[in-house]
Structure 1
Amino acid sequence: MRVVLFGYQKWGARLLADLLASRHEVVLCVSHPEESPEPAPVIFDESMGDLARQHDIPVVYREKAVDDELVAAITDAGAEIGVACNWRTWIAPKVFSAPSRGTVNTHDALLPKYAGFSPLNWALINGESQVGITAHWMDAHLDRGDIITQRTVPVTPTDTTEDLFHRTVPLFGPLTVDALDRVEFGPHEWLRQDPEHASFFHKRADPDNRIPWDRPAKDLVNLVRAQTGPYPNAWCLHEGRRLRVLEASVSAERAGGTHGRVFAREGTGVVVVAGPDAWRGHQHGLVLQRVRDEDDVEHVAGEYFRRMGDYLS
């Protein structure tokens, strides 16, 4: 089939490469402008537009895919089907309906759960045992269209979001090619998303990464894991200065007292009181293993905290 691809960064580039190796023909690429005011982390930095031009595929750039000129370009290219991958903004119904068969979106979650933004981060924060990607029909509701096919990826106890990113990106191409084959040849049996099992998540922002010491230590470990690597780290305040937490674990023993109190050493780390009803002494604490200060210097936590008794907020 003749494909118009809406894509961006490494997700879009890798998907384009797989489409180029398939029997389908990419006739137009639509991408976001590559000069962003906020530089992308290095692991995301790959240009779909450059790859498209190397293969003489026309490329147009849009912040949002909403205009009549774009509809005309899709129609003039004779696109039979659209494919969207890591498209960060709105695609208007008149645009995703411009290809004669409609548009398939690939989303890095096992829909209907984790529709919306930062699905891998949120899934890891919530302690999910698996993540994945879904190819579904695009409709007027974000990430709510009928499911064509899915792939699952197991989550290990030590995985970070960066690990899950590297594990899911290679699946976008094969999943999409499989979805296109099903659209063209069948079986045309799509799975309607059950709203009773759906969840929708907002974009993550700086306040979302502040460590809530009244949560169980296991949850806080998941937050730290979800925000390592290229993502903005989990953080707290120590003596009024931001302290980023790079690695953490659950304490071997229960730690009772006031939330956020640094009160014991464990190995090369320090134990911080955490968890609901922590004053009753029934909760394990959070062991800070590695931290980074406001001067961007990384420390072993046991060396950074010279004394016990400090409070983190």
Structure 2
Amino acid sequence: MKAVVFAYHNVGVRCLKVLLARGVDIALVVTHEDNPQETIWFESVSALCRQHGIPSIAPTDPAAPELLAQVAALQPDFIFSFYYRHMLPVALLALAQHGAYNMHGSLLPKYRGRVPINWAVLHGETETGATLHEMAAKPDAGAIVAQTSVPILPDDTAYEVFGKVVVAAEQTLWNALPEMLKGNIPRLPNDLSQGSYFGGRKPEDGKIDWNRPAHEVYNLYRAVAPPYPGAWTIVKERTFIVGKAYLSAKLLENLPANLPRGLAVVDNRIVGVCGDGRALLINELLADGQTVTPEALKNILL
């Protein structure tokens, strides 16, 4: 079976490796040029293609007529999308004889759309996963082929959950492929009325509102903790990013009364006081890329 694959990021790399291991002929990989403004902490699809001698291109527009013609000439049995960042046009999807399938980082129909792992952590979910589904005109709306769940533990950051979802994506594709290659493709309902859709997130969305309850502030930290842009706050015109934090009732149960909301230093520890009177213990606070000590913060707060 021949496939054209649109891929990027760790999920793209791992799922391409699954296709190779299952004997799929990868005729072309369409990927992205790395953005110099973005922190590149993930594996390279382009490097994998070079290693295996797979033709790869990185067009700016997946709807370009020349790309449509190139894929049509290859006559693929399957088209796959693994963490490719653009929607694929319906005319392109129709070129795959046995269908076009996407790997999405949630348990559809929940968290359709962009950055689903970050949204799931932000909303305090205890479970997410990876879903292989048919591609359709609407994002993440096609029938479900297979999905694998993973836990979100109370202190997991989005980065840690992402690592679990990469493995779940690999397992989902590995288990589904044998029957797919035989033409036996499950089509389970993807009831959008039971799910949710979310857009992308920007660095400015990480601004901390210290008036919110501590568990909400903690979930924001977890959802955008490095290598994502981070949860941040401004004190005296300086921006501070929470690098590492922990929500612990025991460690912070004896907070002094009437502490102002926001950053504070208590017993030589940095804390973030929230709207419900509880606080985050901040084990790492960053400013201008450098670690801020409790003593230095205390001087800033004076």
TM-score, normalised to structure 2, is 0.88
Question: 1:172 Cα shift?
Answer: 2.4
Matches of 1:191 and 1:136, distance apart in 2:
9
| Closer, same or farther: CA 182–221 of 1 in aligned 2, 3 Å | same
Q: Any residues of structure 2 matched to 1:216-295 within 5 Å, and which?
A: 216-250=213-247, 251=249, 252-253=252-253, 260-262=261-263, 265=266, 268-272=269-273, 274-275=274-275, 278=276, 283-293=277-287, 295=288
Per-residue displacement from partner, 1:113-132 (whole Å, max 9, x unpaired)?
A: 11111111111111111121
Q: Any residues of structure 2 matched to 1:127-146 within 5 Å, and which?
A: 127-146=124-143
| Aligned residue type for 1:222 | N
Partner residue of 2:170 out of 149, 173, 177: 173
| Closer, same or farther: CA 259–139 of 1 in aligned 2, 3 Å | farther
| Closer, same or farther: CA 287–100 of 1 in aligned 2, 3 Å | same
| Closer, same or farther: CA 299–94 of 1 in aligned 2, 3 Å | same
| Closer, same or farther: CA 122–80 of 1 in aligned 2, 3 Å | same
| Aligned residue type for 1:212 | D
Partner residue in 1 for 2:202: 205
Aligned residue for 1:220, secondary structure, equals: helix
| Aligned residue type for 2:100 | T
| Closer, same or farther: CA 41–49 of 1 in aligned 2, 3 Å | closer
Q: Is the 8 A contact 1:264 1:308 kept in 2?
A: no
Question: 1:307 Cα shift?
Answer: 6.5
Question: 1:264 Cα shift?
Answer: 6.2
Matches of 1:271 and 1:80, distance apart in 2:
54
| Aligned residue type for 1:151 | T
| Closer, same or farther: CA 53–305 of 1 in aligned 2, 3 Å | closer
| Closer, same or farther: CA 270–38 of 1 in aligned 2, 3 Å | closer
Question: 1:3 Cα shift?
Answer: 1.1
| Aligned residue type for 2:44 | S
Aligned residue for 2:5, secondary structure, equals: strand
When the two chains are superposed, the root-mean-square deviation of aligned CA atoms in Å is 2.5
Matches of 1:61 and 1:191, distance apart in 2:
32
Partner residue in 1 for 2:27: 27
Aligned residue for 2:204, secondary structure, equals: helix
Q: Is the 8 A contact 1:31 1:48 kept in 2?
A: yes
| Aligned residue type for 1:38 | Q
| Aligned residue type for 2:170 | G
Partner residue of 1:160 out of 152, 157, 160: 157
Partner residue in 2 for 1:305: 297
Question: 1:258 Cα shift?
Answer: 7.9
| Aligned residue type for 2:40 | P
| Aligned residue type for 2:271 | V
Question: 1:51 Cα shift?
Answer: 2.4
Q: Is the 8 A contact 1:64 1:90 kept in 2?
A: no
